[in-house]
């Protein structure tokens, strides 16, 4: 098969379009012909060696987490999938024409959802859902999502709204007009100190940005409230002992992924796709991600 192969840590230029041995499914595994993989910031960090202490690449190796595709073959013991099934998952080594995925982390693409679009969803929608779930926000409460214009932030907003909460979307002032597609009840510029000062005390904050913004907004959580973050707890969290600070690391959950994917299919949640590139142009895709912006980038096989 063809794949994006990494021989050393470095910049996007270390991503090489090369031949690579076809993977073979073992017991409990499924071989998938990849339709598309999406590019996530964790992919850039792995390529650069920033995660080598806990998530290394075995050179020459592959990277990539999100994928969608069609089942080619199943290993022994797999009864839930058959050849031809449309599937998607948070997996591993997904920048390739073929990918082996554990059956337990694979999900069927909901009927009516585009197969390519499905590749954009696993990591960001699961993370956003689990981030908001970690706050414990319930109907009648108010939650603020920092970085609501991003894919994880949009997913957190949707999750809070589905729980009956009032949601404030925190974005940069220049993003407020564009961010009104996220479905929040209110919007605030996270770079507007006056607007932040005027916020009411919040039951929960879901953070996807970190840094100084997180340090400012943890102060707006009411005593007994929760500040949950996918970046890390704010450096000044100890100054607010009555606020529960939680770090969220997403993990696979089929029920959550299917719930979020159905919301995308039904138009209740929008995860923008800003660019589709051939898999061989993974270096260009990662360089684009590193420049920032809103919207997922897909690598189409």
44, 67, 282, 294 from 289: Cα distances, Å? 8, 17, 10, 9
Indicate whether 35 pLDDT > 80: yes
Is residue 294 scored above 90 in pLDDT? no
CB 77 within 8 A of CB 25: no
Q: Is the pLDDT assigned to residue 178 strictly greater than 90?
A: no
Largest pairwise CA distance in the chain: 61
> Tokens 């809103």 appear where?
294
Which residues are 245's β-sheet partners?
227
Instruction: Specify the pLDDT at position 163.
Output: 97
* Res 174: pLDDT: 93
Q: Are residues 97 and 1 in contact, defined by beta-carbon separation less than 8 angstroms?
A: yes
Could you read off the pLDDT of 41-82 as tens digits, one per residue?
Answer: 999 999 999 999 999 999 999 999 999 999 999 999 999 999
Measure Cα distances from 9 to 12, 235, 245, 290 in Å.
9, 30, 33, 16
Residue 5 has pLDDT above 80, yes or no: yes
Q: What is the pLDDT of residue 291?
A: 85
Q: State how far the Cα of 297 lies from the Cα of 111, in Å rounded to an integer.
A: 23
Residues ≥6 apart with Cβ < 8 Å to 93? 3, 23, 61, 62, 63, 64, 99, 100
pLDDT given for residue 99 in this prediction: 98
Please state, in angstroms and as integers, the Cα–Cα distance from residue 18 to each residue in 3, 15, 33, 62, 197, following that order.
Answer: 6, 9, 17, 11, 53
Burial 138-154 (b: 16+ CB within 10 A, else e): eeebbbbbbbbbbbbbb
* pLDDT tens digits for range 195-247: 999 999 999 999 999 999 999 999 999 999 999 999 999 999 999 999 999 99
Report the distance separating Cα 119 and Cα 66, nearest Å: 6
Q: Strand pairing of 29-38 and 296-300?
A: antiparallel
- Cβ neighbors of 42 (< 8 A, separation 6 or more) are 51, 55, 65, 123
- Residue 70 three-state SS: strand
Omega before 60 within 30 of 0, i.e. cis:
yes
Percent of all residues in the chain with a pLDDT value above 70, rounded to a whole number: 100
Residues 6+ apart with CB under 8 A from 292: none
Question: CA 12, CA 287: separation in Å to the nearest integer?
Answer: 6
The helix (H) or strand (E) run that includes residue 244 is strand 244-247
């Amino acid at each position: 098969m063809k794949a994006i192969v990494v021989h050393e840590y470095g910049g996007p230029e270390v991503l090489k379009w090369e031949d690579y041995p076809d993977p073979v499914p073992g017991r409990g595994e499924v071989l998938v012909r990849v339709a598309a993989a999406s590019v996530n910031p964790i992919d850039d960090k792995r390529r650069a060696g920033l995660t080598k202490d806990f998530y290394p690449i075995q050179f020459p190796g592959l990277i990539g987490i999100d994928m969608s595709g069609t089942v080619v073959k199943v290993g022994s013991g797999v009864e839930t999938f058959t050849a031809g099934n449309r599937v998607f998952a948070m997996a591993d080594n997904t920048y390739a024409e073929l990918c082996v995925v554990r059956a337990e982390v694979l999900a069927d693409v909901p009927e009516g959802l585009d197969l390519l679009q499905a590749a954009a969803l696993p990591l960001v929608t699961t993370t956003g859902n689990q981030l908001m779930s970690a706050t414990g926000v319930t109907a009648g409460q108010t939650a603020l999502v920092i970085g609501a214009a991003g894919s994880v932030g949009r997913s957190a907003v949707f999750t809070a709204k589905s729980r009956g909460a009032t949601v404030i979307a925190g974005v940069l002032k220049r993003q407020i007009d564009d961010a009104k597609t996220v479905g929040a009840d209110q919007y605030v510029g996270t770079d507007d100190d006056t607007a932040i000062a005027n916020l009411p005390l919040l039951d929960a904050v879901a953070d996807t940005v970190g840094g100084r913004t997180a340090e400012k907004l943890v102060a707006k959580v009411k005593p007994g409230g929760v500040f949950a973050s996918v970046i890390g707890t704010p450096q000044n969290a100890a100054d607010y002992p009555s606020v529960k600070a939680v770090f969220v690391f997403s993990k696979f959950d089929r029920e959550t992924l299917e719930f979020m994917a159905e919301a995308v299919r039904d138009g209740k949640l929008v995860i923008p796709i800003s660019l589709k590139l051939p898999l061989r142009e993974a270096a260009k895709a990662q360089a684009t991600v590193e420049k920032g912006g809103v919207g997922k980038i897909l690598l189409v096989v």
